[in-house]
Structure 1
Amino acid sequence: MRVICWKTTWLSIQTMELFDNLMDSLSGQSYGVIDSFLTSEEINGLVINLRKRHAAGSFKEAGIGQGSGQHIQVLVRGDQILWLEEFSVVEIEQVYYKKINALIQSLNQSCYLGLKDFEFHYALYPIGAFYKRHLDRFKTDSHRKISVVCYLNEDWQATDGGELVIYLPNKPPVKISPVGGRLVCFEADILEHEVLPATHERLSLTGWLKTY
């Protein structure tokens, strides 16, 4: 899949500029970044909710594979995850979903992707944890079109590590620091990527925009 986008005019000027820049990047290089997708208050609210649910034991070790074939492989992936409910009643998660729905509407109107659904999970990478190079699309499931990562790391420094590495065809890899509020989107069936180890816990909301 190659994303081709046209400009949209129905959003607020500030949001439209952010989404237009993202779609220009998706069209040109199959990935894009929006800084300050979340406010500091929204980041803080999501972090509080994440840590509350992690302390309650709701997270589990992330696996490799799909369905009954999924298994834990710590030499490949070391994060802990908690899937968000599709119809969450948590107010701060509703705020996040509202922004994601606006992004989906913009992508559908401007890029004709036919996105109809999404799925997200909280991800917590302990100190030193990583996720080796991989592709997000399953061999038997083509519904994941756009991978989305939104970072929840407050006061993150470049020296903390934990970068997302995106491997571009015939170009050097791109490293993206997991700065709080930053949203990264890329084509799930095209770009391989990995998560590098960090010197602090690394928090995010990770998911996919999907077709049926």
Structure 2
Amino acid sequence: MVALNNTSSVRGLSPIDQSLFALIAQDIEKRGFSIRPAALPEVLTSSLFEHQQLIEADKFKHAGIGRGDTYLKNEFVRTDEICWVTNDSQAGRDWLDWISHLQRFLNRRLYLGLFSFESHFSHYGPGDYYKRHYDAFRGEANRVISIVAYFNSGWTQADGGELVIYKDDDDKDGINVVPLLGTLVAFLSEEFPHEVLSTKRDRYSIAGWFRVNTSVTVKADPPL
């Protein structure tokens, strides 16, 4: 899949973050995905959740499929609503700074050539879902690693809304991830179909993607 190198440290990382990032890199190298409960720093988790709660409702939009001129709302596929994360807030800046450290660590360890990162807050209300899909199709997109972080305290399996990661198109069971506060998930975007089961209560998270640079002279990627 991808090979680890022997780099042992990344400047500026705390020992806790470095240990976490090493575990994520190891998981991705061995299995292609990483599921780490209570991994997102507590202060960052609280800041992001509080900021998401303060975002005005009209800043969120119903999620769709595709982007730019190909964007299409499709309630058969997904019914959640999203708001893109920017550096206009302290919480957004802290998140993007933390994730940039993870990006550099993964590039040093896994030689992935990760170039940029984009992410959005996600809100699933009761009854919302996201049907089985890939975040990137092999050879057709530039998303390399998908990242999800959850902000839901006291969540149980009875609340629904689990992320299900399938190992391939033939997998019928998958691995269920309870969207519990602080859980961090990472997986290779082209390799794993996945879905979000219908939720029975409000469900909050961030979803994001590390991308490679596929810009050409007449076309910027990602589009502005």
TM-score, length of structure 1 as denominator length: 0.90
CA distance in 2, matches of 1:3, 1:193: 21
Is the contact between residue 9 and residue 16 of structure 1 (CA under 8 Å) also seen in structure 2? Answer: no
Is the contact between residue 165 and residue 193 of structure 1 (CA under 8 Å) also seen in structure 2? Answer: yes
Distance 1:185 1:7, change over 3 A: farther
Match of 2:217 in 1: none
CA distance in 2, matches of 1:50, 1:64: 22
1:41-60 equivalences under 5 Å are 41-55=43-57, 57-60=58-61
Distance 1:155 1:43, change over 3 A: farther
Match of 2:145 in 1: 146
Q: Structure 1 residue 163: deviation in Å?
A: 0.8
Secondary structure of residue in 2 paired with 1:209: strand
Q: How many residues align?
A: 208
Is the contact between residue 64 and residue 72 of structure 1 (CA under 8 Å) also seen in structure 2? Answer: yes
CA distance in 2, matches of 1:4, 1:59: 39
Q: Structure 1 residue 64: deviation in Å?
A: 1.4
Is the contact between residue 164 and residue 175 of structure 1 (CA under 8 Å) also seen in structure 2? Answer: yes
Among 10, 25, 40, the alignment partner of 1:38 is 40
Match of 1:121 in 2: 120
Q: Structure 1 residue 74: deviation in Å?
A: 1.0
CA distance in 2, matches of 1:43, 1:13: 18
Secondary structure of residue in 2 paired with 1:37: coil
Match of 2:64 in 1: 63
Q: Structure 1 residue 89: deviation in Å?
A: 3.0
Match of 1:97 in 2: 96
Distance 1:60 1:127, change over 3 A: same
Secondary structure of residue in 2 paired with 1:82: strand
CA distance in 2, matches of 1:8, 1:123: 34
Secondary structure of residue in 2 paired with 1:45: helix
Moved more, 28-37 or 99-108: 28-37
Letter of the 1:71 partner, please give it: L
Match of 1:25 in 2: 27
Moved more, 89-98 or 166-175: 166-175
Letter of the 2:25 partner, please give it: M
Q: Structure 1 residue 7: deviation in Å?
A: 5.0
Q: Structure 1 residue 141: deviation in Å?
A: 4.7
Superposition RMSD in Å: 1.9
Letter of the 1:25 partner, please give it: D
1:192 aligns with 2:193: yes
CA distance in 1, matches of 2:50, 2:78: 24
- Structure 2 residue runs of 5 or longer lacking an equivalent are 214-224
Secondary structure of residue in 2 paired with 1:147: strand
Distance 1:49 1:95, change over 3 A: same
Moved more, 70-79 or 41-50: 41-50
CA distance in 2, matches of 1:52, 1:192: 32
- Structure 1 residue runs of 5 or longer lacking an equivalent are none
Q: Structure 1 residue 3: deviation in Å?
A: 2.9
Deviations 1:61-107 (A, max 9, x none): 0011232222111121010001122xx13111111112101111110
Moved more, 138-147 or 156-165: 138-147
Letter of the 2:52 partner, please give it: L
Distance 1:161 1:110, change over 3 A: same
Distance 1:32 1:52, change over 3 A: same
